[in-house]
């Protein structure tokens, strides 16, 4: 009988923290891609929804820099079209940006460790950046959950609890304390990677670190 080596049971599964906002256009690219890419590398995703608004306010901004800086905004929308074409993702420039996403973000905070998390985030992102819909409504969030066969009314009620509201505020404060300044942001242990264009680098680092 062959005995297993200690490393057989002690190997740590690589993990990546995915910090994102459902109103963020570049987070859309990562939400739509991260599960398949992480699975290919054998990496576990830890979903970390947080609010960009308080982060921007700490910089003295009252909106997204893509709105406040006209030249940057013009570039970003062309860049999004190119990136979506590159990845084979559907894309519609939203008529309202940034869109308020408080309710869907509270649901994401509640569902972060649930098996439906990735599919839910994709649904909301598609509503925002493909269907050009208001996502911060009971109707939109209910539709997303119901399409996944989930008990929408109960999940939304739970997400609106004081506990979940506090969790989202605390997670946003944690993001700020860790030096996050935009979305998406990825952490592999203490190593930070910012932007969808660094997703593959973050996953490769996680695979090598694991």
- Catalytic residue annotation: 24
- SS3 of the chain: the string is CCCCCHHHHHCCCCEEEEEECCCCHHHHHHHHHHHHHHHHHCCEEEEEECCHHHHHHHCCCCCCHHHHCHHHHHHHHHHHHHHHHHHCCCCCCCCCCCCCCHHHHHHHHHHCCCCCHHHHHHHHHHHHHCCCCCCCCHHHHHHHHHHCCCCHHHHHHHHCCHHHHHHHHHHHHHHHHCCCCCCCEEEECCEEEECHHHHHHHHHHHHHHC
Q: Can you name the residues that pair with 152 across neighbouring β-strands? A: none
Q: Can you name the residues that pair with 48 across neighbouring β-strands? A: 19
Q: What's the order of all strands across the beta sheet hosting 44-49? A: 44-49, 15-20, 185-188, 191-194
Instruction: Give how far the C-alpha of residue 31 lies from the chain's centroid of Cα atoms, to the nearest Å.
Output: 6
């Amino acid at each position: 009988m062959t005995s297993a080596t200690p490393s057989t049971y002690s190997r740590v599964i690589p993990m990546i923290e995915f910090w994102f906002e459902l109103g963020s256009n570049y987070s859309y690219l990562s939400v739509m891609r991260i599960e398949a890419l992480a699975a290919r590398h054998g990496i576990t995703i830890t979903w970390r929804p947080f609010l960009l608004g308080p982060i921007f306010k700490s910089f003295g901004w009252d909106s997204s820099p893509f709105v406040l800086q006209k030249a940057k905004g013009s570039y970003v929308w062309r860049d999004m079209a190119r990136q979506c074409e590159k990845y084979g993702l559907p894309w519609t420039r939203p008529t309202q940006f940034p869109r308020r996403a408080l309710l869907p973000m509270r649901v994401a905070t509640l569902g972060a460790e649930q098996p439906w998390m990735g599919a839910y985030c994709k649904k909301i992102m598609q509503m925002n950046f493909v269907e050009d819909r208001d996502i911060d409504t009971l109707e939109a969030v209910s539709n997303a959950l119901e399409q996944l066969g989930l008990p929408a009314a109960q999940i939304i009620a739970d997400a609106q609890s004081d506990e979940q509201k506090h969790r989202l505020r605390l997670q946003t404060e944690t993001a700020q304390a860790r030096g996050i300044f935009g979305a998406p942001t990825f952490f592999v242990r203490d190593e930070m990677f910012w932007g969808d264009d660094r997703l593959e680098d973050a996953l490769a680092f996680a695979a090598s670190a694991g």
